Every structure is written in structure tokens, then in C-alpha cells.
Structure 1
Amino acid sequence: MKVKFTVVIQKEENWYVAKCIENSVASQGKTIEEALDNLKEALELYYENGELDLEEKPLFITTVEVAI
């Protein structure tokens, strides 16, 4: 079975960090592709022995402007 997850990728110094929004699983890599590949492996391990809740939950992604 294949499941789609929402992922955010941020550059942090010399690494790209990929984080899954639905469950906070994260991984990193020297490139975006490596970070995504590592995250896919981490997600497979995360769900290896557990139940996957496939219930559709609303997901809202936006930006916020803050005066600092």
C-alpha cells in the first residue's frame, strides 16, 4: 500500500531537514533528494509494526506575518 504524506523541507546550515506534518517524523540529508529518501525510510520504519490511521483529517497550511 502507498500513502501520501505532507512534508516540509528546511535548509539548516549544511543539511536539509525533511519533516512529515501528519506525525512529526523527521530525517535529514546533504541534498533535498537525500533528505526525502531518508524520510521515506524513517516513515516505513515508523509504521512497520503499527496501525496506520487513514482517516482523512483537515490539513491547513498557511503563512503568518509577524512584526519583529
Structure 2
Amino acid sequence: MSRYKYEVIIYWSDEDEAFIAEVPELPGCAADGETHEEVLSNLETIIDEWIETAQALGRPIPIPKGRLMFA
């Protein structure tokens, strides 16, 4: 189970031949994987890196809002 509370959108990409997981609240934050489990595990790492980079650049970290209207 994720320690993050951001909304995650998972879909299959024929082009990448993988599942893609995106976090709409964190622009550019996405990962891929062969299974749902793998893509979510990979996404945890990417979220960690996204937050670390934002902190290093002095950018705000969005507070998770849960389900978004446009998703």
C-alpha cells in the first residue's frame, strides 16, 4: 500500500507495451511497468524523486486532494 495519498491513473499503453501510472497533481510524474503491482512500485520511487527534486529547487509540494474532477 502506498504511503502517498495522491490520485493515480493507470492505463495500458500499446505503444510502450506496458502499464503507465500518472499522478495528475505532480506534473510530469509517471512510471511504467509490466504489471499493476510493478507500475505502482515504480511510481513510489518516482514520487520520492519528484518530491526530492521539488524540495531541492524550492518548489511547493502539492497537498494530495484525492479524486480530481477531471480524472
Fold shared per TM-score above 0.5 = yes
Q: Between Structure 1 and Structure 2, which shows a larger proportion of helix residues?
A: 2
TM-score (structure 1 length as normaliser)? 0.71
Higher relative contact order (CA 8 A, sep 6+): 2
Gaps of 5+ in 2: none
What's the C-alpha RMSD, in Å, of the aligned pairs?
A: 2.5
Gaps of 5+ in 1: 63-68
TM-score (structure 2 length as normaliser)? 0.69
SS of the residue corresponding to residue 38 of structure 2 reads helix
Distance 2:30 2:43 in 1: 6
Q: Does 1:22 align with 2:22?
A: no
The one-letter code sitting in structure 2 at the alignment partner of 1:28 is D
Partner of 1:66: none
Deviation, structure 1 residue 55:
7.5
Report the identity percentage.
25
The structure with more radius of gyration? 1
Displaced runs of 4 or more, over 3 A: 55-58
SS of the residue corresponding to residue 19 of structure 2 reads strand
